[in-house]
Amino acid sequence: MLEVLNVLNTHLSEHLGLNYEFGQMSDSPPNYPYWVGDYAETEGLTEDGVENQTIILNGFARGKFIDLETQKEKIKEYFKFGKTDLVSVNLPNGVTSKVVVNIWFSDSINIPDDNMDLKRCQIHLITKIWKGYE
């Protein structure tokens, strides 16, 4: 899963220029809008060696909702047809292995909040990982 998290950080932070962190935002106070990632492992390893996870991106903004909606659309368009990365991984035995990571947009939802100034949405990205390719 670390491969997916590293690839996702590169795509969101570097390629899209978004304010993103995994787990929770460490900046205090945070710079809005920002995105926090988490994941759910939806299936076990399949016979073809694929691992599946769902990335959950929670976006937060203050003030106008359009700032968050603009970034949500940017993420949707970026991952609409999927992004595939080939990553080298150093295994504990000193061997280098290859991992193929594929990430694509699944769905999104706006989430109401009791704090009328805080805007929130959630995006789901589907991932597939193939490990062990040389």
- pLDDT confidence of 109, banded at 50, 70, 90? very high
- pLDDT confidence of 133, banded at 50, 70, 90? low
pLDDT at 88: 80
| pLDDT above 60 for 86 | yes
Q: What's the mean pLDDT when you consider all of the chain?
A: 87
94 vs 83, more confident: 83
Nearest Cα residue to 22 out of 6, 11, 44: 6
Q: What letters, b where the CB count within 10 A reaches 16 and e where it falls short, cover 64-89?
A: eeeebbebbeebeebbeeebebebee
User: In the sheet where 83-90 sits, what is the strand order?
Assistant: 20-22, 34-43, 50-62, 118-133, 96-111, 83-90
Percent of the chain with pLDDT over 90: 52
Let me know: does 71 contact 104? Beta carbons within 8 Å. Answer: no
Range 115-127 average pLDDT? 91
Let me know: does 36 contact 121? Beta carbons within 8 Å. Answer: no
Range 110-130 average pLDDT? 88
* 3-state secondary structure (DSSP) of residue 131: strand
pLDDT at 57: 97
| pLDDT above 80 for 94 | no
DSSP structure string for 87-104: EEEE-TTS-EEEEEEEEE
* pTM, full prediction: 0.86
53 vs 35, more confident: 35
Let me know: does 118 contact 102? Beta carbons within 8 Å. Answer: no
